[in-house]
Amino acid sequence: MNPMLKRFMQLGIRFHVWLYRRSGGKRAGEMEGKPLVLLTTKGKKTGLERTVPVMSFEDGSDRLVVASMGGAPQHPAWYQNLVAHPEVKVQLGSDVYSARAVVTEGDERDRLWNKIVGESPRFGGYQKKTSRLIPVVRLERI
């Protein structure tokens, strides 16, 4: 990726996170009618905390996030981070809590994927764009 474009995107994410936190999720807290969460992971290589806004879905008392990266051929960095360090922080609106990230598999992943695509069909298009299986991650409150 072009270094200047990458830097611009990083600044946009930082501003989004700042606005979300400052407003308790009242601003920059939704995308296509779905709630965004701020997901804070520990860097796989650096060990530093990284926070990104991610669209989320509800499944019982848990939140679900999808590591789609728009159907890119590789997983997003935040996904790589939570695989290495599954203890994460989640902010949904003004509610901030610790969670354990669990990558779903098999029948559970299929059930959740169908639920997500039913609520937000664009994720089905992302899966068609890539050869990788797009992960669905359950965020279990600790």
pLDDT in tens, 53-84: 999 999 999 999 999 999 999 999 999 999 99
Question: Cα(2)–Cα(87) distance, rounded to whole angstroms?
Answer: 31
Confidence grade of residue 5 (pLDDT, cut at 50, 70, 90): confident
> Residue 19 maps to which CATH number?
2.30.110.10
Is it the case that residue 1 has pLDDT exceeding 70?
no
Secondary-structure percent of the chain, ordered helix, strand, coil, rounded to 5 = 40, 35, 30
- Domains held by the chain: number: 1
β strands within 1-142, DSSP E: 30-31, 34-42, 49-59, 62-66, 87-92, 95-103, 136-141
pLDDT in tens, 9-35: 888 889 999 999 999 999 988 888 899
Domain extent for 125: 3-141
